[in-house]
Amino acid sequence: MLKVEGLTKHFGGTKALNGVSLEVEKQEIVGIIGPNGSGKSTLLHNITGLYLPDKGNIWFEGTDITNLPIDKRARLGIGRTFQNLRLFKLLTVWENLLVPAIQLKKPKKEMEEQAAELLELVKLSHLKNEQAQNLSIGQQRLLEFIRAMMLDSKIVFLDEPTAGFHPNMIQTFIDTLQELNRRGKTFVIIEHNIPAIMEISTRLVAIAAGEVLMSGDPHSVHSNPEVVEAYLG
């Protein structure tokens, strides 16, 4: 579904990505782990179109999207959330869900049903009319997650979706994600919460210093000495 080959990105003297290659199959849940500053968010920005790479190529469903603008990638079915949330803080939860989806020109009733169902899944229905800024950080993350799902993307990239969660929200997030995955969605998730990412991912990719260290079964990747070493620095 997605293929990344030899992706390289510099910021001045910093080599944030150094020849990253990666493939994602339809309906996988790929977890990405790696120390702070190892290039995880930069990889996501390059795939979703916020940044253009210095070198390398990205294909999505057979189309070369390496240099496509962000909105064209979104229209092909690539969605995302941000590590630092980007909600409309003064709008209500309900408005946050419907405003970005308006551009899809779906019938209003269909959009409203979808929004109501997603709110139910993440257990935020009771906050429907609350301003986004009044939600806890964890609730805001859940809202940004389901807002991304309103756009009917085929693959959704989540950058630290559980950061700031109250512990009892983790299971709600995992259940929602797995339900959407059963319905056909593909996910790539950057996480520092190791127990959560071990539970959700069907495959784990470890990144360090802008390079892929290892990709495979979550338990073998997580216990690999090279990966442990990279984490402990």
Ligand X SMILES: Nc1ncnc2c1ncn2[C@@H]1O[C@H](COP(=O)(O)OP(=O)(O)OP(=O)(O)O)[C@@H](O)[C@H]1O
Query: Coil, strand, or helix at residue 125?
Result: helix
The CB-of-43 to ligand X minimum distance in angstroms stands at 7
Based on the shown chain and the rule CB under 5 A, indicate whether residue 41 belongs to the binding site for Mg ion: yes
Based on the shown chain and the rule CB under 6 A, indicate whether residue 141 belongs to the binding site for ligand X: no
Site string for ligand X, 69-88 (x = CB under 6 A): --------------x-----
Based on the shown chain and the rule CB under 6 A, indicate whether residue 205 belongs to the binding site for ligand X: no
Cβ density class 66-101: b for 16+ within 10 Å, e for less? bebeeeebbeebbbbbbbebebeeeebbbebbbeeb
Sheet holding 211-216, edge to edge: 78-80, 155-159, 186-190, 29-33, 203-208, 211-216
Based on the shown chain and the rule CB under 6 A, indicate whether residue 38 belongs to the binding site for ligand X: yes
CA torsion through residues 86, 14, 23, 48, sign? positive
11 or 67, CB closer to ligand X?
11
Based on the shown chain and the rule CB under 6 A, indicate whether residue 193 belongs to the binding site for ligand X: no
Q: How far apart are CA 47 and CA 57, in angstroms?
A: 9
Based on the shown chain and the rule CB under 6 A, indicate whether residue 34 belongs to the binding site for ligand X: yes
Q: Which of 37, 52, 152, 179 binds ligand X (CB under 6 A)?
A: 37
Based on the shown chain and the rule CB under 6 A, indicate whether residue 41 belongs to the binding site for ligand X: yes
Which among Mg ion, ligand X, none contacts residue 39 (Cβ within 5 to 8 A by kind)? ligand X
How many residues bind to ligand X according to rule CB under 6 A? Answer: 12
Cβ atoms within 10 A of the Cβ of 58, count? 24
Helix locations, 102-136, DSSP H: 108-121
The CB-of-159 to ligand X minimum distance in angstroms stands at 7
Based on the shown chain and the rule CB under 6 A, indicate whether residue 96 belongs to the binding site for ligand X: no
Based on the shown chain and the rule CB under 5 A, indicate whether residue 193 belongs to the binding site for Mg ion: no
**CA 74 from centre of chain:** 13
Chain contacts with Mg ion (rule: CB under 5 A):
40-41, 83
Chain contacts with ligand X (rule: CB under 6 A):
11, 14, 16, 34, 36-42, 83
